[in-house]
Amino acid sequence: APVTPTLLYLDNVTVSFDGFRALNALSLAIDHAEMRAIIGPNGAGKTTMMDVITGKTQPNEGTALFEGTHDLTALDEAAIAELGIGRKFQTPTVFEMHTVEDNLLLALKNKRGPLATLLSRRANQERERIDALLERVRLTAQRHRRAGELSHGQKQWLEIGMLLAQEPKLLLIDEPAAGMTDQETADTADLLRDIAKSKAVIVVEHDMTFVRDLGVKVTCLHEGSVLAEGSLDAVSANERVVEVYLGR
């Protein structure tokens, strides 16, 4: 066994729905502070894979090891979130009537619990955390605006900021560039590359321009298993990948 275990190791994971294999002996390893792009046609099993990692779906076979010791398949969603796995769905869920700053504050309180935030001497510390989060998700200038007034792209970033407030070790993100302008898409790639300096990130994405911008290792799923894995250039050159996905 390796001295430093892989952060996430899916080993032969199978998920069957009425005999249909949404995941078919899927194996995948994600390192500490690695960003990985997951691509593949509709129905390839991308969502089901994320559901297994977050405990929403129990596999019929296989294991999902986190930090080499925690078997995610034996834990519920709350316990998995507690271990430091955060998930962002495609549609942003921010508190529209609250300011950007208050949204982040709520996410911080959620993490620390009400008692910590009652202690007023923590207030400065909290402000510093929020300043850093705002900076990180490029919303410093929007701090006092209501979340409901943000652009679609900015809402996505705010939600990423709220997830970062939970201090995850692994972030799962579903199609972050969907519905974004070209500029927002490029900024999102920058933002994710920055986050991936200190955290692992798994991004499911269909926008190949965005995936190229990320510049990370790519895994193409097909029929519930890994069809190809490597650089985007290598994966794009794979005949089977062209046949089932890129050549559509």
Chain residues that interact with ligand ADP, rule: CB under 6 A = 17, 22, 40, 42-48
Residue closer to ligand ADP by CB (options 101, 205) is 205
> How far is it, in rounded angstroms, from Cα 191 to Cα 156?
11
Q: Min. distance of Cβ 42 from ligand ADP in angstroms? A: 4
CA distances from 209 to 174, 182, 186, 187, 205 (A): 16, 10, 9, 13, 10
Give helix then strand counts, H and E, for the chain: 10, 10
Residue closer to ligand ADP by CB (options 43, 148) is 43
Measured on CA atoms in the order 64, 6, 67, 86, is the torsion positive or negative? Answer: negative
Residue closer to ligand ADP by CB (options 131, 223) is 223
Residue closer to ligand ADP by CB (options 45, 161) is 45
Q: Radius of gyration over alpha carbons of the chain, in Å?
A: 19
Q: Min. distance of Cβ 39 from ligand ADP in angstroms? A: 9
Q: Min. distance of Cβ 45 from ligand ADP in angstroms? A: 4
Q: List strand residue ranges (DSSP E) for 198-243, in order.
A: 200-204, 217-222, 225-230
> How far is it, in rounded angstroms, from Cα 124 to Cα 207?
40
Terminal alpha carbon distance of the chain: 41
Residue closer to ligand ADP by CB (options 157, 210) is 210
> How far is it, in rounded angstroms, from Cα 202 to Cα 31?
11
Residue closer to ligand ADP by CB (options 43, 215) is 43
Q: Min. distance of Cβ 38 from ligand ADP in angstroms? A: 8
Q: Min. distance of Cβ 175 from ligand ADP in angstroms? A: 10
Residue closer to ligand ADP by CB (options 17, 89) is 17
Q: Min. distance of Cβ 8 from ligand ADP in angstroms? A: 17
- Are 147 and 96 in contact by the 8 Å Cβ rule? The answer is yes
Q: List strand residue ranges (DSSP E) for 136-198, in order.
A: 170-174
* Residue whose C-alpha is closest to residue 90's, from 159, 17, 140: 159
Q: Min. distance of Cβ 123 from ligand ADP in angstroms? A: 42
